[in-house]
Structure 1
């Protein structure tokens, strides 16, 4: 290829420039390589540096280099010749110049040095400490401050220790500032710590809290009165208060803290709380539950369950309740055989309106296991299999599970408890029956082996009673079925606890056991918490007849701690006065006999008659099976005065009532006279508490007869039966006065007389009111007669007929009692009542059959009449107050008559049943 002359000249010039650059670079490299290296005779001092290096030693004689520089020339001089650099090592040792002598003294002098003067603390390093002074402290004691210091009088002073002491005092949180002064002398050093204390907390106050009491909040926080202020503790306390509210479902609660200065370096800490509304559970979602439906899982959870006060919102969220629910879910799966179930960490999310939460639970069910084999046997101390207590067959029958069944932990635990009870009732208190399981995940089967070791026979060495500050030991010991010196029995121990609880004297009864002085003995501890057994009950009500009614009762159920009962009752109004006193001794002369004595003076004034009863009764009973089954007999002597004329009250004023029976041929109903009667009875009582039962049964049957053979002027025969049943619901324990309880009360009564006059009116049955059938006014239920107000047939009829009471009565009360605020004893009740009374005496039916009246109040009786019942339903609130149990109840009649009210509200003090 041919190039143009111009292009050829340009290339030649470029090549020449490149050659020139290359030559210049080579010369520059040669110049740099030949320059002498400076010799540093002294290293700069710094932390960790050694002492300054001295100039090189003079070289040996006869080997001087004519070109060597003088020894005084500073090191690093630009004019130094390369030959003048010593050939030795850096510390001035012998040079390594092929055996030649060293040159003359080094030509490089020491470089510039920076000297930092030592501090007073560094100068005092290692000096003994003669004294330590503390100043500025007002509340923190000197000894407390000194306890944080590593520096002590007599020790040698160290700077590092001083820095550590200052840090320790600061970290203690007591001080806002810490300064140290040091005085150095010939004898040592004196240290003076000057501190500035943080303020003292004078008080801690809460504002805006209604759901959580001050005491509970004070327990939750770190900040306490009469302590030193710590700002981090205040911040942490704010979060702890929020956590406490979150556990109750108040996730939106706001908490602000304020520090208000006071005199004498004190402050008041105020926590301002805005609770907002509790967050309710809107929805619970389960993921992974392929074999157990959502409804079954939700049914065992308390979280998300609506109450009568939640109005369908799903109920509030509480952390402790939710944790219990997760355990219940695990238990449910275990009981179904899912032995590898896992319930994951729940995901809790606020709803967009921030008024509810949604909970998602992830469940890994795992396989369901069947029982491949179940072996239960007993072995001795050497491990050899022996004959079990009661025989192998009887032992195996106690365990209901068998091969091929799905594993059920709850049933297995219950069966093994039955096995343990058999052994422990025989005195083997230390027996062991712990199941061992082995899973086969491939075949989804489990082997269960239960080895039993009975251990030695155990006797009761000592029974200790604690906590009975009022009740005497003998009151508790006579209820125990287990005694010192006897063989241990688990059933007797549990029955002893139930009997002590049933007394009603204690809020709690706890039983524990511990080994005695030897492995063959055991000590039993009963720890009780006394409850007030004296009550002052007051009730009040209104009626169209008596206007205002007041009742009062003073009762001591544990008189002087002897287990005796004394009650004084009074009921007073313008038309009524009842006074009675009753004494009860459950163990007469420390025997199984019981006795009671009652005296009374009663006046009752009704629109159609008045009755005054003065008398007394004595009862003797005996425990056939202590304490569940008792028999007794009651002897009563009283005088009844019945008047149909215009009557006066105890206050001396006229009642204003004139009896309609005064001028009618029914006056034989109002016989007056003496009544002497005997009433044998039998009682079966398994209630867990006599005052506030929540489980058990109470049955009582009695027959009372008053006869002229006994000297009685009034003759009758009365049969009565009472049945009460208590059942705890929703897996609640049978702790008295707590949880959800289903209760039922039934009473049947029949009274007849051999006399032609029939049963006097004061002995007949009248129903209605808060004590039997609620929703109806007091004593308004029963048969009625269509009578005129006088013997004249043209006289006006009695409005709605005359209520004459009945010979036969039946009523029943079904109640569902539930907690509202359990901590303060407020409970709710929903009820259904039914009942009626019937007349059995022909004289009333024949003379006035009353066909115009409803069958519900007919004076004529037939077998069909038993179906004519009065019904009501309602609700109420009960408060177990310090004054006694208060009852506020609203009743609504379900088959009311035209003259009856649509609802009745009543309140009183005292238990119903």
Structure 2
């Protein structure tokens, strides 16, 4: 039994610059054999030709003697020379008809090379294939690269290819093959040495690109076989990622650190350097469109609020978007042959900026010569369109003679498609056909419409709702399985689901179902955390430390219900409430909410404690935009003019002046039973983070003895919230500029001669309504003394008794600062005031220190004397909820008001 061993080693391997294998052995053997055969053949021929004829063939006769005068015969011992062996033409002894000598005799002796063990094994059946040395790579993976199979005849050529295939797989540093030939056949043993395994991949110096994104973008991965070329390609990929963000000077290097058990750690070291900014953009060839219009549609080169005069960073993906926007601008102006060349991007000499040059070939501007829209049937015949020809033509606003505007044509075609799809024709085709006349610079537009089959919704599938139940989404849909397809209803369904505020993203994709007249609709959502824990704290010269907390779950158990527990605690107040809301009570269009509360307020003149509950039923007049509701409230209020102990154990020293004055009727307390009907209109795109739409609520609350109430009043309230998206993706927090406006009006009266209880009156001031002023400091003040003695010391700055009429507005602009972490800024302007309309206060002389501004009686001129403030803030959409940090500056301050007030809390403003 004999065996051979063949082996191949990678040139860059640790064993040195060697590359040995069966492929090279075979090649060497073949070359050596060929050389020896050629050398031996030529020598034999030369030798045979130099031999005398008598030696070549016995009994040749006279031919064996040389011709006289031909010179001496060549030396037998001399090297054979072909040039000296040609016989004389007239030797004549040889018979021309005699048979030729055998070729073997002419070629001389044959040289034989011994066969290798591989050559001897040719044709033997392969009885076994073994694999050893593999750790990470399985035996089956190794065998998958081999053409040699058990039971097949062995071929040396096939073995050579198998070794090369294993090497090219890139998994091994060394491949050896042992061949053993026996009586039963050939046994092959492949001995491999694996390349190192990547234990981990580490990055350092990457501040601008997250490690997860870098890991995702490179070729090498942890727990895979090391490939140095792949590592080098990954270096270039990292550089490309940085260049897309404007870091053209970023340096990337790598090291490979060896570890135990044939493992390595690949480390990428990144030096980002400074981000390259756009210094200048030059346009060449824009003869008809000014640079100002081109720059308006570009994001590249537009400095942000924090760019400090620079042109902003360069990003490749942003610039590609800019080129498309410029092309669209030209198309909208009728330049249908516009071409924007490849931009030239050059680094400035200081290597801190770039200059971009864009060459534009505008081409001619085209007018519409003819525009025709019609419908064809399946046979190509023109038929009456849906709604009639006149109605169809009115959807297309372009006319002959107008400059071509692609955006307007696309918008009109979408209106045509929507018309047909709302009627159930999902597969409607309305693709424009254009024909340009470059000589006359005119274009003909033909829009043939094909209805397709009437389509019904076969199935609605929801994906991504790991928590929210299907019914929560389906009850917001205006489309149902089995109905005719309607694009408008489908879009409305998407808006209603988005408005729930439970999802980061809602995508809707309709696809043809099991038949051409069936469609399947896929709702794919990405859920967001709907449970929030909100806390806030602040300091006040009146309340000292203030703490607020709220635990809320807006999507309780995935049922779309809401549960909130709220607490506000300070040295002057304690509020605890629990509220539950069911938007679809008993799976109907009715809603239901209930609330339990316990409240304690301690002021300088009195304290008030309240315990009660409320129950609200609502009905959607127009689902979900218009809702009517009725709230019933039962509560018991107690007003105390004595010392009161608060939550923190402190004791309030209330001034008992009010009960001894004619104002004592302000402190009516007891049982209150009220009903409050209201109507609300809501078109906000998102209930938790609205960026567009409006919310308006109008309510009237009445409490009188007919309901069993001891306290009587009539309160009207109108509030409106308006949102306008100036840019960014709608409904996503931290996206674009959002303009917000909130306005609230309130008016309360009492049929009782005692007037409105003080605890039901309006007080403004604080982060929740009038920023820049301390809590409850804005309101009507009266010049009262501290005692009944007319000569007693007056109450400093008057006594704040609140108002029965209030009006205030908040205008703010919210803008992004750092989008990727959800940090936004806000600038605001607040204005408002509280007044009285009751006679007993209108006849009272106002406090002299600030006449008019806090007059106890309302008049038309009071609207010109609103309290105002302005300021700015920072908001962070953190995992705990929206954090608010705001600085307010009151305008036209009076008496002891502060020049600025800083407050912070968690939660949306409005």
Q: TM-score, normalised by structure 1?
A: 0.87
- Deviation of 1:72 after TM superposition, in Å, equals 9.2
Equivalence for 2:861: 864
Equivalence for 1:747: 744
The answer as to 2:48 corresponding to 1:55 is yes
- Distance in 2, matches of 1:677 and 1:491, equals 42
- Distance in 2, matches of 1:46 and 1:686, equals 95
- Distance in 1, matches of 2:41 and 2:895, equals 114
Which of 434, 454, 458 in structure 1 is aligned with 2:455? 458
Task: For residue 55 of structure 1, give the secondary structure of its aligned residue in structure 2.
Answer: helix
CA offsets per residue over residues 766-817 of structure 1, 9 Å max, x none?
Answer: 1111111212211122333333433444443333333222222222122222
Equivalence for 1:426: 423
Unpaired runs of at least 5, structure 1: 1-42, 89-94
The answer as to 2:124 corresponding to 1:128 is yes
Closer, same or farther: CA 424–77 of 1 in aligned 2, 3 Å:
closer
Equivalence for 1:520: 517
- Distance in 1, matches of 2:213 and 2:342, equals 28
Q: Kindly indicate whether the alpha-carbon contact (under 8 Å) linking 1:534 and 1:555 is maintained by their aligned counterparts in 2.
A: yes
The answer as to 2:43 corresponding to 1:46 is no
Which of 850, 855, 859 in structure 1 is aligned with 2:852? 855
Q: Kindly indicate whether the alpha-carbon contact (under 8 Å) linking 2:728 and 2:735 is maintained by their aligned counterparts in 1.
A: no
Q: Kindly indicate whether the alpha-carbon contact (under 8 Å) linking 1:127 and 1:188 is maintained by their aligned counterparts in 2.
A: no
- Deviation of 1:50 after TM superposition, in Å, equals 8.7
- Deviation of 1:869 after TM superposition, in Å, equals 2.0
- Distance in 2, matches of 1:189 and 1:668, equals 114
- Deviation of 1:121 after TM superposition, in Å, equals 6.4
Closer, same or farther: CA 225–639 of 1 in aligned 2, 3 Å:
same
The answer as to 2:482 corresponding to 1:489 is no
Q: Kindly indicate whether the alpha-carbon contact (under 8 Å) linking 2:685 and 2:730 is maintained by their aligned counterparts in 1.
A: no
Equivalence for 1:383: 380
- Distance in 1, matches of 2:620 and 2:38, equals 101
- Distance in 2, matches of 1:443 and 1:605, equals 84
Matches within 5 A, 1:34-183: 45-46=37-38, 52-53=44-45, 55=48, 64=63, 67-68=66-67, 84-85=87-88, 117=113, 120=116, 123-124=119-120, 126-128=122-124, 130=126, 131-155=128-152, 157-182=154-179
Closer, same or farther: CA 261–516 of 1 in aligned 2, 3 Å:
closer
- Distance in 2, matches of 1:445 and 1:49, equals 83
Q: Kindly indicate whether the alpha-carbon contact (under 8 Å) linking 1:337 and 1:369 is maintained by their aligned counterparts in 2.
A: yes
Equivalence for 1:541: 538
CA offsets per residue over residues 817-854 of structure 1, 9 Å max, x none?
Answer: 23344444333322222222223234334322345415
CA offsets per residue over residues 79-103 of structure 1, 9 Å max, x none?
Answer: 9989725699xxxxxx999x97899
- Deviation of 1:213 after TM superposition, in Å, equals 2.5
Closer, same or farther: CA 78–486 of 1 in aligned 2, 3 Å:
closer
Q: Kindly indicate whether the alpha-carbon contact (under 8 Å) linking 2:642 and 2:653 is maintained by their aligned counterparts in 1.
A: no
Q: Kindly indicate whether the alpha-carbon contact (under 8 Å) linking 2:606 and 2:640 is maintained by their aligned counterparts in 1.
A: yes
CA offsets per residue over residues 865-891 of structure 1, 9 Å max, x none?
Answer: 102222222222223333222222222
- Distance in 2, matches of 1:581 and 1:742, equals 32
- Distance in 2, matches of 1:87 and 1:832, equals 130
The CA RMSD over aligned residues, in Å, is: 3.4
Equivalence for 1:876: 873
- Distance in 2, matches of 1:537 and 1:352, equals 52
Matches within 5 A, 1:59-458: 64=63, 67-68=66-67, 84-85=87-88, 117=113, 120=116, 123-124=119-120, 126-128=122-124, 130=126, 131-155=128-152, 157-182=154-179, 191-458=188-455
- Distance in 2, matches of 1:510 and 1:103, equals 95
Which of 756, 765, 785 in structure 1 is aligned with 2:762? 765
Matches within 5 A, 1:572-651: 572-650=569-647
- Deviation of 1:60 after TM superposition, in Å, equals 11
Task: For residue 84 of structure 1, give the secondary structure of its aligned residue in structure 2.
Answer: coil
Q: Kindly indicate whether the alpha-carbon contact (under 8 Å) linking 1:65 and 1:103 is maintained by their aligned counterparts in 2.
A: no
Q: Kindly indicate whether the alpha-carbon contact (under 8 Å) linking 1:63 and 1:102 is maintained by their aligned counterparts in 2.
A: no
Closer, same or farther: CA 480–795 of 1 in aligned 2, 3 Å:
same
The answer as to 2:881 corresponding to 1:891 is no
The answer as to 2:496 corresponding to 1:499 is yes
The answer as to 2:475 corresponding to 1:472 is no
- Deviation of 1:391 after TM superposition, in Å, equals 0.7
Q: Kindly indicate whether the alpha-carbon contact (under 8 Å) linking 2:875 and 2:882 is maintained by their aligned counterparts in 1.
A: yes
Which of 800, 805, 810 in structure 1 is aligned with 2:802? 805
Task: For residue 246 of structure 2, give the secondary structure of its aligned residue in structure 1.
Answer: coil
- Distance in 1, matches of 2:363 and 2:889, equals 53
Q: Kindly indicate whether the alpha-carbon contact (under 8 Å) linking 2:766 and 2:773 is maintained by their aligned counterparts in 1.
A: yes
Which structure is larger by alpha-carbon Rg, 1 or 2? 1
- Deviation of 1:552 after TM superposition, in Å, equals 1.8
- Distance in 2, matches of 1:166 and 1:269, equals 28
Task: For residue 748 of structure 1, give the secondary structure of its aligned residue in structure 2.
Answer: strand
- Deviation of 1:45 after TM superposition, in Å, equals 4.1
- Deviation of 1:386 after TM superposition, in Å, equals 0.8
Task: For residue 857 of structure 1, give the secondary structure of its aligned residue in structure 2.
Answer: coil
- Distance in 2, matches of 1:818 and 1:47, equals 89
Q: Is the deviation greater in 741-750 or in 869-878? A: 869-878
Which of 534, 549, 561 in structure 2 is aligned with 1:552? 549
Closer, same or farther: CA 319–192 of 1 in aligned 2, 3 Å:
same
- Deviation of 1:76 after TM superposition, in Å, equals 8.0
- Distance in 2, matches of 1:496 and 1:562, equals 18
- Distance in 1, matches of 2:397 and 2:728, equals 22
Q: Kindly indicate whether the alpha-carbon contact (under 8 Å) linking 2:338 and 2:363 is maintained by their aligned counterparts in 1.
A: yes
Equivalence for 2:829: 832
- Distance in 2, matches of 1:747 and 1:361, equals 52
- Distance in 1, matches of 2:90 and 2:402, equals 97
- Deviation of 1:340 after TM superposition, in Å, equals 1.7
- Distance in 2, matches of 1:48 and 1:551, equals 105
Q: May I ask how many residue pairs the two structures share in their alignment? A: 862
Closer, same or farther: CA 307–51 of 1 in aligned 2, 3 Å:
same
